[in-house]
């Protein structure tokens, strides 16, 4: 079944809404997003819905293949991005690069 939801840590919310973070790197469990589908996005911490995103692509990528270009799309330096990914997914090598575009903001409740 096509996933219809995605969560992000609250600290990424502002960058997503500002269009400064346009990709996310996820593990095997989240490789099933479908290009062209729209997902409702909520915070990981509180489950607060804050936007909808259209999934543009889902591609496998190895941790060691991450470049400055990927970091730029995450609004980070490459060192920061690698630290963040290692903190979320310790020891991971196989990642999935999900690119998306903002489809709409959700009202504050």
Ligand X SMILES: CC(=O)Nc1cc[nH]c(=O)n1
Binding mask 34-73 vs ligand X (x if CB under 6 A, - otherwise)? ----------x-----------------------------
Q: Is 99 in the site for ligand X (CB under 6 A)?
A: no
Q: Is 24 in the site for ligand X (CB under 6 A)?
A: yes
What's the token pair of residue 93?
């090598």
CA dist 39 and 55 (Å) reads: 7
24 classed as catalytic: yes
Helix (H, G, I), strand (E, B) or coil at 98: strand
Binding residues for ligand X (CB under 6 A): 7-9, 12, 24-26, 44, 88
């Amino acid at each position: 079944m096509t996933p219809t939801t995605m969560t992000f840590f609250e600290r990424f919310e502002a960058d997503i809404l500002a269009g400064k973070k346009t990709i996310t790197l996820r593990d095997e469990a989240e490789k099933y997003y479908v290009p062209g589908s729209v997902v409702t996005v909520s915070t990981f911490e509180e489950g607060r819905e804050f936007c909808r995103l259209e999934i543009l692509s889902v591609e496998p990528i190895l941790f060691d293949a991450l470049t400055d270009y990927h970091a730029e799309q995450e609004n980070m330096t490459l060192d920061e991005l690698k630290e963040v990914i290692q903190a979320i997914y310790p020891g991971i090598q196989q990642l999935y690069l999900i690119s998306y575009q903002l489809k709409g903001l959700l009202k504050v409740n």
